[in-house]
Amino acid sequence: MNKPKPLVAGNWKMNGLMDSAAELFRLDALVKEGQDAGCEILICPPFTQIVRFAGKMQGGKIMIGAQDCHVSEKGAHTGDISAEIIKDAGASHVIVGHSERRADHNEDNRLIREKTKAAWRAGLVAIVCVGETASEREAGETAAVVEAQLAGSIPQGAAASETIIAYEPVWAIGSGVTPTADDVEMIHGVIRAHLGGRFGDEGGGMRILYGGSVKSTNAAALMGIDNVDGALVGGASLKAEDFNGIIDAYR
Ligand code: PEP
């Protein structure tokens, strides 16, 4: 299978008041002014901004996604948002199983697997997050933890067109610290082998993003590693210039 087109995705987390549209417009302008990026670009704002952002970016190069979804299509789930509602609002992707949701909401692999199926059901691309904690890493359990998360979180029958993996070591998120290139290459190789073993050619074509303290200064080096097919970016996605500097890795 051909190498998949990389994706640079921004996760705004719980940031984005009404005036944040200005940042999106600035990013859009930088993307349009800049050399064509050889990657797809995605911004995942809070739910409240999706419909507006998707409307503004329609026909452009920036896609809009969500940060989570419920497993059900609709019904009595006060405060939750279904994948169908997200799709209806104009989004194309949804992040599931981010480590902050695993920690803050006790989300486990089984639930994340159901959320991934919900994303597919609604016609969204699921970005499934995996990654070890600092103590798991210190115990030498990184590969075992990530393989267990992949086995538990990705449903059978996954296709490359609707499934993206984000490897995000929990200790690297928001810390300014990243794994060594050798470590990233090793674990992305483990993930690729798992995907290939389970899904054959489809697994070979699935994008594996790296996430955790990606910045414009380290993006090119990280994106150049084997089996790194893009980035999931938190803090540095909030400022248009910073995020555009990461996209530069693919220009
Ligand atoms: C994230 O939370 O997905 C993330 C990668 O955050 P940061 O880039 O800020 O480390």
Asked whether 67 lines ligand 1 (CB < 6 A), one says no
CA of residue 71 to ligand 1 center, whole Å = 24
Q: Pick from 189, 234, 193: which is nearest to 211 by CA?
A: 234
pLDDT of residue 3: 80
Tally of CA atoms within 13 A in the half-sphere of 240 that contains its CB: 16
Alpha carbon distance 91, 104 (integer Å) = 24
Measured CA to CA, the distance from residue 247 to residue 95 in angstroms comes to 19
Question: Ligand 1 test: best mutation among 100, 173, 238, 239, most atoms within 8 Å of CB?
Answer: 173
Contact 166 CB / ligand 1 (< 6 Å): no
Active site residues: 98, 168
pLDDT of residue 138: 98
Rounded-to-integer distance, Cα 245 and Cα 222, Å? 13
10 Å CB burial of residue 90 (0-12, 13-18, 19+) is middle
pTM: 0.98
pLDDT for residue 152 is more than 70: yes
132 C-alpha to ligand 1 centroid (Å): 14
Q: Which two tokens stand for residue 50?
A: 């999706």
SS3 126: strand
Residue 141: pLDDT over 80: yes
Give the pLDDT band of residue 2 (cuts 50, 70, 90): low
pLDDT digits (tens, 9 = 90+) for 46-73: 999 999 999 999 999 999 999 999 999 9
Residue 148 has a CB neighbour count (10 Å cut-off) of 13
Number of neighbouring beta carbons within 10 Å of residue 244: 21
CA 91 to centroid of ligand 1, rounded, Å: 20
Q: Whose CA is nearest to atom 8 of ligand 1?
A: 234
Contact criterion met (CB below 8 Å) for 206 and 163: yes
Residues 6+ apart with CB under 8 A from 18: none
Give nearest CA residue, ligand 1 atom 4.
234
Helices (H) and strands (E) in the chain, counts: 11, 8
Band of the pLDDT at 17, cuts 50, 70, 90? very high
CB-ligand 1 contact for 95 (6 Å cutoff): no
Cα 10 to chain center, whole Å? 8
Q: Which residue's entry shows tokens 């393989």?
A: 147
* pLDDT bracket for residue 12 (50, 70, 90): very high
